[in-house]
Structure formats: C-alpha cells, structure tokens
A and B are shown apart, each in its own frame.
Chain A
C-alpha cells in the first residue's frame, strides 16, 4: 500500500503548494525579502511559521500500558491489533495554566504514567488525563504544578480556511523541546468538513510522528490538531493505516476551543467525556440503495431517547436541521456528526402532509435495557399451538412460579388496570420471542400455562428478569430440543401482528428440499458469481425436520486454506452432531488471508444460501471468529443484525465502541481469551463496553492459553460450553 502510494507520490511530487504560499504568505516577508528565488522565500516563510508555533508544541512520553491496541477499520493486510511505538508523542498547549490537548491515539494503550516536556522548561512535568472528546478522539492533559504563563497558539477562524492553502504538520516525536525546531511536514489543505463535518483534510504527512501536534498556516497560526481519523470507523486508532499517505486529518482548533471550557472542568478522578449528541432513531433502509440516496425516514424511535421525548414517530421524514435541508441519510450524518451531547437542534420533519418544526436537545446515550428473561428454553420445531417448555433455568422467574419442563405456554397478556386482563394466544416460539423482545426486565406479564396429564390450564403472573451470564451445564440441558416437525406448517392461532420483516420470518425453504436427501459432510461451495469460496460442514445426522443452528467461522489471518477448515470442522464434529449445528467457513481472499470489510457481503450471501438449502434456525445464526476474524465477527454482528443473533470470538477485541442495542434484533456475545494472550486486557475492556450497552455477555478466560484456538486440551471445555450456548440462544 505504502509503496504504491509513494510511487504515485513522486510522480506528483511537484505539488503546487506554491499556490498556497503565494496567496497566503505574509506580505511583509514577500516585500522585505530580496530573494531571487521563490523557493527560498517559501522556505523562509515556513521556518518562520514553525518557529512561531514551536513554544506551544510539547513532547509527551508515557510509561506502561498495553503492548497491542485493537484497531479500527482496517486496510487489507493490516495485522490484528497494532503495536504502538514506545517513543514520545506530541501535544499542543491550549491553556496557560498547563493544559495540553493531544490525540487520543497517543493514549490508546492506557499508559500508567504521562510525562510532558515543555519547550524552555528545564523540568519535565507529570501529567494527568482530565478530559476526552469521544467524537473527535482528543484527550486533554493537565500538567501538574504549572500555573499560568504558558504561551498560547492562535487559532485560524474556520471561515478563513481555504482548500489549497499551505498547511504544515508539526510534531515533537523526532525532536524534543531541547531542539529549537520541531519536525515539519509541508502540504496543503486538501478539503474541509471531512469525517462527517468534523475535520480538515491535509496532504501533509500525518503519522504517529505528529499525532497530537498542530496543523498550522504560514503565519504560525493553528488550523487544527492532528489526529488519525477515518470516515468509516470510530476509535482512537481508526485511520492509523493511512499514515504518511497524503491523507491526514486535523480537528479545527476553533472547534476545540468552543468545548474547552467544558473539558477544563475535568479532573484525573472525574474525567470529563464529551459524547456525540444522539437523536435516538434508526432510519428506514431499502435494499439496493445506499445512504447517499435514501431519504432520512425514521424506522424506529428508541425509548426514552431525545427523539421520543419530543414526540418523533416512525414514518416521520427529517427534512431540515438548523435550516440546512436534508435530502439523504448521509446528509443527516454530516449535519449530526459534529454535534455534542446536550446541544439543541432545530428539526423540520414531514409527517403525512404536515410539516412540523421542533427543537430537540440531543443526548449522549440512548437508554438501552437489558434483554428480558423469563427463564425457559422452548421446544423447537413444534407446529402445535403454544410453546412447550424444554428447560427451566434454576432460580429464574419461571422457576420461581413453578413452571416445569413439559409445560406448555398457551397465552400471554399484560394487565393494565383498570382494563381487565386480556390474554392473546401464542402461535409458536418465534412469536413469543418477538413479543418478549420489546419488553423490559421488571415488567409483569401474565401467562396461561397448560400442564399435567389432564392438560389443566393455569394463569401465572411473572416478573421478567435479565438474561443471566450462565450457560446450562451438560447435565442440565435436556437432549431433546426439537419436536422434529420443522417442515410441518404451524397450526397455531392467526398471527397477532404481521411479521416485522422478511428476515425474521420462519425459514424459507425451497419447495421439495425435503424430498431428496440433502448433502452432508465437509463440502466446498462458491458464491453465485463464482468470485468467493467457502466450505460448509453439515453433520451426518442432518434431519430436515430439525432446525439447525449455523456457526459462521471467520478464520484468523492466513488460515484460509482448505486444510485449515478441515481441521476446524473436525474439532466441531461432535458438537455439531449433538447440538445440530451447520458450519460455514468462508475464506478471506486477500493474499495474507486477512478480512476486509467488503467481504461481509459474501459471508452474508453464504449464510443465505445455506439457509435456503437446509433447515436453519434463524434465531441461532452465530458469527464466530478468532483474531482479526473475531473483529470481523463483531463487525458482521453489528452490521447485519437481521441475520446474526450471536457473536462468539476468541482472542479478539472490539475495534471500536459497540453500536447501540436494538431491542427488536437481540444480539448476544460469547468472549473467549487466553490469560496469556496480549490482547487479554483489551478483551476484558470489550466485555465492559458491551455490558455498558446492556448486551448479554459471557466471558471466559482460559488459564495458560495464549493466542490459539480453543480446540486443544486447554480450551475444549469452553468449546463444548460454546456449543451449549448456541443450543440455548433461543432462551426466553
């Protein structure tokens, strides 16, 4: 990648930055200099600008911290987790009392100790992180024992910035404050309002050499603070792969100064975190259209969100924000992207024929609720009305009211006094799952249960709990999981409400799929366009009358050969037979076998094709990956929630912050990591981040295991547990 770019580079090495210098360079220098050489003139101007900013640019050193940092969106060939350098980094003074802003990238490894060297000061200072801006990936440091008198940079007003003007990227990694000149890279402003309206783009070389340093103009004034950034990902390290490529980003200092008063209120104990301002809606998606063409029509409104409080409704079309017209979902992102938690926007929406204008105060988080839990496993593939209880979780709400395996849940209802209780009949498992998804823990529901030999009915009141972080043990889990009548049309009552979308519907099966015996074993497949290869393993005891779970294996980099998949299915052979699981093993196409985001399309196609040819339980399709494949599993889980209900990873951390929970598309996580794995802390943090978003998470740390798969002696119990988790993923 780098080499290709560099080739391009020297072809275009004669960039017209003269243009910038001529227009913008200080007139004084131009007229006073008796230079017979235009370049000399520019050189002098550059050096003068660098000297001017130099006293405000500090060097930051850190101690401790993790070795590997999980990456964000990646380019092909990038390793899973980047190894940060150990060298010094850069910061910019933003307040005379010893406050320094820097790129969050420089602290992504969570150092224990931060030391700052200020130009002209003999002693280094101990510094503490007091604020983070999550929207712009900036960190504010307080230098302990510095009060007043630090020099301050001058910010260039955004209204003055022009594409094409000269921009210099300044860093302190290579040269400490003991040398008068920091490092400099020369370029121009390539674009404004990048990264959803948040950043300036420059072709000066931006890299860990100057992340956190200023991008300045030829007067030595600060345009912005250099950060790695990517329009497609979030997180401290997103965009790192573009270092030195001629694509670099800086956050305008004017914008930073605007929120600085808020950030200055932070302390090391109570770090201020600036969050994105959220509306709390999802938008309607249309097959075959992208965000640049789809209008911003609200699909769902999250409970207790900013949008809900102001009465926005599904079906409303967002037409204008703060007077700017919104024609597409991308424009909505562009306008909302720079907004912070607590900011108020003026919204114009269209509801039917009416246009409504209203002010909405954005919120930092959309309240999400833990997944509700009744405490049972349902019997699958049962066409009879109601849901037979396959297993009752000990101490669960169902257990406490005396529900037992073999009972059948016939009706459900919620009593809202003074109206009398009205119970609705349940057609089957899928319908009951849909109904419970929208409930929250703590809610009291009434269930009509049919039990015993004489089929007596009984109505029980049950208060829902949260999904527990346990998996039934092998002895607990009843072997019988299916009534083995998946191909029989359900006899249940008429659906109470229409299915939400096609993907949630009962598995579509090809006519006559059950007529001939389906192919079983380890099989090679190609996509319809024949451009991708994947392998599937269908257990020999495959029965089309049993809905099978699907485990999609996203291999670690380099393990994309047939023999690798052969090993994989053999590790999974017995669990697949015991728990009726079909494996899909897509192969990443890149030379080194790493995953690229664009390959998610083909993985989804593979899952759909298998679902059409075999009896598949749509509620138990799992993305399972290791290493960078694990990051791919997270990405797939969050992106195609209509398809995946579980994400299981080993030795992989979330590359960026998790997306918000969507109640109607539940997603569960099973995280495995060896305690010798360098990513262990990052995986622990992933668990914390997912729990914060109220996702059900199971976390297993395996003693003495390093960076390897769980099919060996050390991990085999966890592999078995993972299989049981897959079997119990339709828990209610």
Chain B
C-alpha cells in the first residue's frame, strides 16, 4: 500500500513520453507531479479513520471508514449497520485506537456523526477536513479527476494508510424525483464516480479532488434502479435536502448542520410517504393484465377532471409533472402523493405526439356498492 511505489510505473511512463512528445511540455515537471500526489495522500490519510462495529455475519462486514471533521475527534461517516453496537471502535491513522460513540444520525441524509475521546481521555489537535469550507465548494463537473480514500475490504490495518483509487466524476446527478431510485433513504444529488469505489467497508470514506479537497462521503454498496446495475457514488458534503415533516411543515437538513450542532442535533421526523387522502381524476385505465402495462386511457368519466381536460380514450399517459410513468402501477403510486384541488400536468401521447394537459384534482368519490351481476 505504499503510494510512491504504486505511482512509479506511471511516472516512468510519463517521463518517457514527455521526452518523446513533440508538444511543448517543458513547463511540466514529472517529478513535481509525483511529489504532489504523494504529498496529497500524506495530507489526506491522517484525516481518515477506520471504524469497527457490528456485523461480521450474513455477509455484512463489521468495518467501515470515516472522516475526521474536528480537531477534538468528531467523525463523519455513513449511517450503516456497523454503528448499531455499544462497542464501536475507531483506529486513527497513527494506529492509536479509541472507543467511540454515535452522537447524531440523520437517516434522510444517510450520514452519522461519531465521537472519540471524552473527559477522561481527551483527544486534541487531530488533522481534520474543514466541512464548512467543503460545503461552500460548488459541485464539480463530470470529467473532473478525483481520489477516493477508504478502507475497502479492510485491506489496511492499524496504522496502514487507506486504499486510494483514482477516477473521474462520471456525473453529478439528481436521479429524478422517482420512487425507489435507491434502497437508501438519501435521494438528493450524488457524485457518480468512474471507478469501482463502493465496496465493503468503503462507506464513509473520502472523495476528494486531485488536490485533496473534500468533495463527498463514499456511499454504500447499492444497485441503481434506473439501470439495475451496481453504482459507485458519494454523497456531496454540500448535501442539503428539504423534507416534509410529520407535522406537515417543510424542513431543510444538511451535513453542515449536523457537524455544527453535534450532540444537539435532532434528526427530523419526516412524514410517512404515500399517506395522501387520494385523489379523483375520472380516468379509467385499461386492464392491467401484465407487468409493466403502460397507462393507456380506456375511458373518461363525463364531467370529471379528465373530461374537463379533454382527455380521451386511447391517450397514453407518459409523464406526470415531468415524472415518467412507465406503467399503470407507477401511475397510481405517483398520483397517490397528490392532494385534492392540486393541479397536475400530464403529458400524453396522442397521434404520435406529446401533448400537455392540466388537471385539477378532486376529492375521491365514495365507493359504490359492487353492482350485482
């Protein structure tokens, strides 16, 4: 895991090429580049910790990674099963180890704050990432070179440095407002990384720029439901999302807020989803005999919102307020989140063209007793 030896083949390659290259590259100094990489890794590594906690059975690893966010031992990591223990341990970069306790958790952001040291065992002057500064940094573009530091597969032990991977940002994506994009609770923007970073134990590791500036926290091992493939992502430090709470009020949560409030941080109580009273559109869809039947309109109830919006049989509903409804099931699920008197924009396919109609939703009609045959 020695950084310098791993770099050397590349650098040799560079040196050869620089000498051969016809380009005016005199300004480039390979030795400087090598040095700066080594320096960055030396700078970043002490700010990372190895976490050991619950797990070790049923394929669940008992180890993870975290980043130090204050000189007195606050550690930011991903909210995962390894924290569910009284016996959480943290190994610092120099090999010293501590018991740790969880001081705050925010399921909506999928992060947790952990503390090492207490009154008896004081921790001071640890190297740390400046989260305030990192949260201010604007999102970086796809194609930006990044480094990922984590203790994936628990390869590093004690004072050994983290495994470092290099890649680029593949995308900075809001994965649409669709249901179940992730199994994880966090549904905001993420950095998708063009490197296989999200491995066992990597969650909570640091994603940085090539200069070692903190960009995000490496996430869990997840499948992306858009493509049904494994996804490598990191939660940006600037993550800030708005959540509808149980009392009906909206509240904003951010990583910065958690790091600043520390023990005083209270996780939000978000309202349960899909709890709406239901709405009435007057749209009668075709029967749903197979999985993924698209929402074709079979009929429209006269005088209903659908009728007023001039929907007609054989229209195919494609988007509801910009969200693709691939099948009847998704259409019902998306609509269940609306309230009566809300308006909703439907994009329908009619005569090989998309047309937009606006519906004002009504209260659900009382159910009629089943007609006798």
Contact = CB atoms under 8 A, between A and B. Distances in A.
A174 B170 contact: yes
A125 B194 contact: no
B173 A126 contact: no
A88 interface: yes
A335 interface: no
Interface string A120-144: 0001111010000000000000001
A174 B226 contact: yes
A87 B226 contact: yes
B358 interface: no
A181 interface: yes
Nearest to B196: A6
Nearest to B169: A184
Interface stretch (B111-119, B124-132, B245-253, B346-354): B346-354
A205 B173 CA distance: 17
B353 A31 contact: no
Contacts of B225: 85-87
A459 interface: no
Interface in B17-41: 17-18, 21, 23-25, 27-30, 32-33, 36
Given A183-B142, A205-B194, A19 B17 contact: yes
A113 B318 contact: yes
Given A22-B17, A244-B230, A63 B165 contact: no
A34 B6 contact: no
Given A124-B354, A174-B173, 11 more contacts: A14-B6, A27-B23, A36-B29, A39-B145, A124-B319, A128-B352, A144-B352, A174-B175, A181-B171, A183-B170, A184-B170
Contact of B294 (A2, A7, A112): A112
15 contacts: A7-B153, A10-B196, A35-B28, A37-B36, A37-B210, A43-B143, A43-B145, A47-B141, A87-B225, A124-B354, A128-B352, A174-B171, A186-B168, A205-B194, A208-B227
A30 B294 contact: no
Contacts of B141: 47, 181
Interface residues of B, number: 67
B171 A183 contact: yes
Interface in A28-48: 30-31, 34-40, 42-43, 46-47
Interface in B205-224: 210, 224
A466 B24 CA distance: 76
Interface string B155-186: 00000000101111011110100000000000
Nearest to A36: B27
Nearest to B317: A63
Nearest to A42: B145
A39 B10 CA distance: 12
Contacts of A42: 145
List of 3 A-B pairs having minimum Cβ-Cβ separation, nearest first: A87-B226, A6-B196, A208-B227
Contacts of B24: 30-31
Interface stretch (A64-72, A93-101, A278-286, A540-548): A64-72
A283 to B, nearest CB: 38
Q: Determine which residue in B152, B196, B290 has the highest number of CB atoms from chain A within 10 A of its CB, and name it.
A: B196
A62 interface: yes
Given A18-B17, A678-B291, A181 B168 contact: no
Interface in A175-198: 175, 179, 181-186
B144 interface: yes
A66 B294 CA distance: 11
B233 to A, nearest CB: 10
Contact of B168 (A5, A83, A125, A184): A184
Contact of A30 (B17, B23, B224): B23
B192 interface: yes
A174 B173 CA distance: 6
Contacts of A31: 23-24
Contacts of A18: 10, 13-14, 17
B21 A50 contact: no
A3 interface: yes
A16 interface: yes
B329 to A, nearest CB: 11
Given A9-B195, A47-B143, A86-B226, A37 B33 contact: yes
A84 interface: yes
Given A14-B7, A115-B318, A182 B142 contact: yes
A207 interface: yes
A61 interface: yes
Contacts of A144: 352-353
B292 A64 contact: yes
Interface string B331-359: 00000000000000001010011100000
B164 to A, nearest CB: 8
B143 A10 contact: no
Given A2-B230, A30-B24, A126-B352, A64 B293 contact: yes
A173 interface: yes
A461 B170 CA distance: 73
Contact of A38 (B33, B316, B324, B327): B33
B228 interface: yes
B349 A113 contact: yes
Contact of A62 (B9, B14, B290, B326): B326
Given A36-B27, A175-B173, A63 B226 contact: no
Contact of B13 (A16, A50, A67, A174): A16
Contacts of A113: 294, 316, 318, 349
A145 B353 contact: yes
A13 interface: yes
Contacts of B229: 85, 207-209, 243-244
Interface in A463-498: none
B254 interface: no
A184 B227 contact: no
Nearest to A67: B291
B304 interface: no
Nearest to B18: A22
A38 B152 CA distance: 28
Contacts of B196: 2, 5-6, 9-10, 244
B199 interface: yes
Nearest to A680: B290
Nearest to A15: B10
B33 A63 contact: no
Chain B CB within 10 Å — which of A31, A38, A128, A174 has the most?
A174
Contact of A14 (B33, B166, B325): B166
A65 B163 CA distance: 43
A9 B152 CA distance: 13
A46 B168 CA distance: 10
Nearest to A6: B196
Name the residue in B27, B225, B290, B292 with the highest tally of chain A Cβ atoms < 10 Å from its Cβ: B292
Contacts of A108: none
Given A18-B10, A64-B293, A66-B291, A183 B173 contact: yes
A181 B142 contact: yes
Nearest to B330: A86
Contact of A86 (B25, B28, B326, B354): B326
A109 B196 CA distance: 28
A212 to B, nearest CB: 12
A145 B200 CA distance: 49
B230 A23 contact: no
Contacts of B14: 18, 22, 38
A423 interface: no
A475 B224 CA distance: 56
A244 B229 CA distance: 9
B142 A64 contact: no
Contacts of A150: none
A260 interface: no
Contacts of A63: 294, 316, 318, 324-327
A274 to B, nearest CB: 25
Contacts of B294: 63-64, 112-113
A82 interface: yes
B273 to A, nearest CB: 19
Interface in B41-89: none
